[in-house]
Amino acid sequence: MRVVTAAVAGAVCAAAWWMSFVPIGRALCDGLSPDALGCAGLVYLWVAPISAVVWAVVAWALLRLARPRPVWPTAVLGPVGSFVLALAGALTIVGMRARPPEIVGVLVVTISAGVGYALAAAVTAGYGGRRDGAEHRGQDG
């Protein structure tokens, strides 16, 4: 259940990130050439990272409300895994020289975030457990 909860929280927040990041970028670059260096720098170096941090905090809050303990390892490793998977998916699409519709960007980001958060939850599932060694001796104390 922990993995499913993390995957849903990550996917929802990633979709919300994409749906907020793209319109903000379009609004800021309104009237500028899409190839303008200032527009690309503003959007990709300021808007995208700041909004990603905001949505990562929202994902942490959602995981905290769902109460899988501890939350912080999943909240830290989830965005890292999501970024790596989204980058791999985007580079694959670019490498194929495909011209997909805009919805593909949302799907790549959402699916990679869901998988990234699920992997983070699975990897950190045993973190913070019992450390007294009793689980190996059959003593449940």
Burial of 130: CB neighbours in 10 Å, binned 0-12, 13-18, 19+: exposed
For the chain, domain boundaries = 2-126
Non-local CB neighbours of 102 within 8 Å, separated by 6+ positions:
none
pLDDT in tens, the chain (141 residues): 788 988 899 899 999 988 888 788 778 777 766 566 777 777 778 888 888 899 999 988 888 888 767 788 888 888 999 999 989 988 998 888 888 887 888 899 899 999 998 998 888 876 655 555 555 555 555
Q: Are 18 and 112 in contact (CB under 8 A)?
A: no
Max Cα–Cα distance, the chain, nearest Å: 69
Global pTM value: 0.75
CA–CA dist 45, 57 (Å, integer): 19
Non-local CB neighbours of 53 within 8 Å, separated by 6+ positions:
none
Pure H helices in the chain: 2-28, 37-42, 48-66, 72-95, 103-123
Residue 54 has a pLDDT of 92
